[in-house]
Amino acid sequence: MTPVTKRVRQRIVRGVWPAGTRLFLAPTARDLGLPMRDVKEAFIVLSREGLLTPARSSDAFRSWVVAVRDRAPAP
pLDDT digits (tens, 9 = 90+) for 16-60: 999 999 999 999 999 999 999 999 999 999 999 999 998 876 555
**What was the pLDDT predicted at 55?**
84
Phi/psi for 40 (5° steps) reads: -60, -45
Name the helix (H) or strand (E) containing 32. Answer: helix 25-32
**What was the pLDDT predicted at 64?**
84
Domain spans, the chain? 3-9+23-64
